[in-house]
Amino acid sequence: MSEPPATIETDAAPEPGRRGRGAPLLRYALRRLAGLVPTLLGVTLLTFVLFDVVGGSPAAIVLGKNATKEQIAEYDHVHGYDRPLAVQYVRYLGDLARGDLGESLEYREPVAKVLRDGVGVSLSLTVPILVVGTVVALLVGLLCAARAGGPIDRAMLGATTALMSVNYVVWVAAGQYFLAYRLGLFPLWGFEDWTYLLLPILVGVLSSLGSDVRFYRTAILDEIGRPYVRTAIAKGLPPMRILVRHVLRNSLIPVVTNVSLAVPFLFTGSILLESFYGIPGLGGIGLNAVYASDFATVRAVVLVAALLYQLANLLADLAYAWLDPQVRLAK
């Protein structure tokens, strides 16, 4: 991270390297978008091979084990599975370009409709977990770093260690049993309105809070040791202003990294949370598809996750370039 003493002297001082970066940032974004094309083509090829070649005959899966050879041959002919693999792959790409993800064997509906029905529910669960968890962990990490070595810091480190020592499944089961079943503070199971999401969100935030707080504390402590912080202290700037306006802002790159790793799971949701609490999101849809050998749905979920992972990496790289002037955008 660069050392910006100029930004410490006055609030109006321009941040170094930020001016004139719009055009290079745009060119960098376009190059990164173009670089997604071969990666996504590789993902489509891999999923095609796994689900349409290695995975066995789609006709045998759809028609069942009692299907005759004539029925399987007719099904393959109607759906084009008797054509060369290259032709099947090109057709598969064409279907993807039109938004045709196939027919769900489990739900007897187009896969695209199945995914649309589960996206909103999954986002209603995972977005609050990501946002609330990040904000709370960042604030607690900042407090621990500001009081490093003190009673508050030691107490928080002990609490985060305890949080990290509890298995995720224990959090899910304990929350459901004690908070929902025994105390009746939350709905036990199902999804009828937003109140059914409160307990899964609470469990999701608590289960990741320990590791996130320690990660952000370490990142902020590393920034506090920079020379520009000592310069700001020597100039008599208020400690809170130094922490929030300078240290926290310059610690955002590891924050972006940590958040970008969690973004790809927004659409797939948390499989355990959705399964334990009966939430009909994409995590549960994908799990049911695996149990039912619904390859079309599983393949679609894999494709969506791969696309989201690539977009998360792109957004993280752009955020790095915007936050840190030292990031080089040239080839």
Instruction: Give the model's pLDDT for residue 268.
Output: 64
Q: Report the alpha-carbon distance of residue 266 to residue 150 in Å, rounded.
A: 37
Instruction: Give the model's pLDDT for residue 2.
Output: 40
Task: Using only the alpha carbons of the chain, give its radius of gyration.
Answer: 25
Residue 66 C-alpha from the chain's centroid: 42
Query: Where do the domains of the chain lie, and which CATH numbers do they carry?
Result: 19-55+101-323 (1.10.3720.10)
Q: Report the alpha-carbon distance of residue 175 to residue 200 in Å, rounded.
A: 8
Query: In sequence order, which residues have a C-beta less than 8 Å from that of residue 330 and are 6 or more positions away?
Result: 24
Instruction: Give the model's pLDDT for residue 328.
Output: 55
176 to each of 164, 243, 312, how far by Cα in Å? Answer: 19, 38, 32
Instruction: Give the model's pLDDT for residue 329.
Output: 52
Tell me the one-letter amino acid at 81: Y
Q: Report the alpha-carbon distance of residue 179 to residue 252 in Å, rounded.
A: 35
How many CB atoms lie under 10 A from the CB of residue 293? 14
Instruction: Give the model's pLDDT for residue 327.
Output: 61
pLDDT tens, per residue, the chain with 331 residues: 444 433 333 333 334 444 455 667 777 778 878 888 888 888 888 888 887 776 666 766 667 667 777 777 787 777 777 788 888 888 888 888 888 888 887 788 888 888 888 888 888 888 899 999 999 999 999 889 888 888 988 999 899 988 888 888 888 888 889 999 889 899 988 888 889 999 999 998 988 898 899 999 988 888 887 888 888 888 888 888 888 888 888 888 888 888 888 877 766 667 778 888 888 888 888 888 888 778 888 888 888 888 878 888 888 888 887 777 666 555 4
Instruction: Give the model's pLDDT for residue 61.
Output: 67
Q: What is the pTM of this model?
A: 0.77
Instruction: Give the model's pLDDT for residue 128.
Output: 92
165 is written with which tokens?
């020592």
